[in-house]
Amino acid sequence: MENGLIDLRSDTVTRPSPAMRQAMMAAEVGDDIYGEDPTVNALQDRIAALLGKEAALYVPSGSMGNQISIKVHTRAGDEIIAEAGSHVFNYETAGAAFLSAVQVHPVEGRHGRMSLESIRRAIRPDIYYMPRTSLVCVENTHNRAGGTVYPLELLKETAKLCQENHLALHLDGARLWNASAQSGIPVRDYAECADSVSVCFSKGLGAPVGSAIAGTKAFIEEARHYRKIFGGAMRQAGVLAAAALYALDHNVERLREDHDKAAALAREIGSIPGMAIDPETVQTNILIVNVEKTGRTPEDLVARFRDGGVLVGLGPYGTFRAVTHLDVSMADVRKAAESIKKVMAVR
């Protein structure tokens, strides 16, 4: 909380703790473009091991990690399948079209999950005048659906469907550790289903910068090539990688606390007349709150909540989004709920 504002816009607003800053300052560094930064190398090796993959690559952002993965898995003119609310379709600035010259076939899911039948129907037949389907992207947890967890069994079945149809499967695991904290399933088990995986350190884990992608050695070798083309190769990046390593050591187990805070906030906000939260989506640290029955617009409420000391963001149509994280306490959450209630009581 800064300047009296409780910031629930995103878990990306977290700032490195003093101990994390110390780890960054003490990091041993080298030139990562030459592959000589020992801290970056240690992080990449650790991520590969955690996810059960042959190799991993440190990248500046989750969007870049996803877009590099799409680039490696596709060729110009292809089509990729993704859930209609997915990050790669909604929040990466048409990167797939711009960088890889592929189009996204959006599939409507439930709570961010695509049924096998919906994916099967979206796969293009092998006809010369249709785009070639080459990749399926899934997101775990699913941001726009409210931080919902992709069930492991469905992910396994999706992987089998992809294999049967000679498609690659990419897992956008920006909040994969949140999924693991909620389900009790190791991140490795989710990652085993996919040909490539992206994970993020600057959300729930609290690092200031950075993500990683993982896959086979051949995949990562090509990914390194595109990281350079996309401008994501860095020099002495160990100062950033050290923050990610610190986060893995200290900030994974505590993710359950963020989930508890979100559940508490949902109970309070859900009691306000006109506000609706689908209880099935209250699984991790993201809340999507529908306000259509309040008679007010999300834009108006976001502004009013800010005046009351609470920052939230816009969600899908008719909603606002609130995200709990390590920089807001349970006391902050209760205070935020009370402030929101006061705003809603004023007509």
Average pLDDT over residues 250-258: 98
pLDDT of residue 206: 97
- The torsion angles phi and psi of 339, rounded to 5 degrees, stand at -65, -45
Rounded to an integer, what distance in angstroms lies between the CA atom of residue 143 and that of residue 151?
A: 15
pLDDT at 296 over 70: yes
Rounded to an integer, what distance in angstroms lies between the CA atom of residue 163 and that of residue 285?
A: 32
pLDDT of residue 27: 98
Residue 139 host element (H or E): strand 133-139
pLDDT of residue 346: 80
Question: Token pair for residue 231?
Answer: 């401008």
State pLDDT tens for residues 217-238: 999 999 999 999 999 999 999 9
pLDDT of residue 271: 94
What count of other Cβ atoms lies within 10 Å of the Cβ of residue 184? 6
Rounded to an integer, what distance in angstroms lies between the CA atom of residue 194 and that of residue 185?
A: 15
pLDDT of residue 4: 83
pLDDT of residue 132: 98
Which residues are registered as beta bridge partners of 247?
Answer: none
Average pLDDT over residues 190-207: 98
Rounded to an integer, what distance in angstroms lies between the CA atom of residue 243 and that of residue 226?
A: 24
pLDDT at 280 over 70: yes
pLDDT of residue 204: 95
- Look over the chain and give the mean of its residue pLDDT values, rounded to a whole number: 97
Rounded to an integer, what distance in angstroms lies between the CA atom of residue 276 and that of residue 269?
A: 8
Report residue 1's pLDDT band, with 50, 70 and 90 as the boundaries: low
Average pLDDT over residues 65-85: 98
Question: Token pair for residue 285?
Answer: 């640290």
Residue 329 · residue 14 · CB < 8 Å? no
pLDDT > 70: what percent of the chain? 99
What count of other Cβ atoms lies within 10 Å of the Cβ of residue 299? 10
Rounded to an integer, what distance in angstroms lies between the CA atom of residue 162 and that of residue 141?
A: 20
Rounded to an integer, what distance in angstroms lies between the CA atom of residue 141 and that of residue 276?
A: 21
State pLDDT tens for residues 17-64: 999 999 999 999 999 999 999 999 999 999 999 999 999 999 999 999
Average pLDDT over residues 111-128: 97
Rounded to an integer, what distance in angstroms lies between the CA atom of residue 347 and that of residue 339?
A: 15
Q: How far is CA 36 from the centre of its chain?
A: 29
Return residue ranges of the chain for CATH 3.90.1150.10: 6-13+253-345
CATH architecture of 18-250: 3-Layer(aba) Sandwich (3.40)
Helices (H), the chain: 18-25, 38-51, 62-73, 87-90, 95-100, 116-122, 152-164, 176-183, 187-191, 217-229, 238-250, 255-269, 298-307, 330-345
Return residue ranges of the chain for CATH 3.40.640.10: 18-250
Average pLDDT over residues 270-289: 96
CATH architecture of 6-13+253-345: Alpha-Beta Complex (3.90)
pLDDT of residue 246: 98
Average pLDDT over residues 81-87: 98
Residue 285 · residue 147 · CB < 8 Å? yes
- The torsion angles phi and psi of 135, rounded to 5 degrees, stand at -150, 140
Report residue 2's pLDDT band, with 50, 70 and 90 as the boundaries: low
Global pTM reads: 0.96
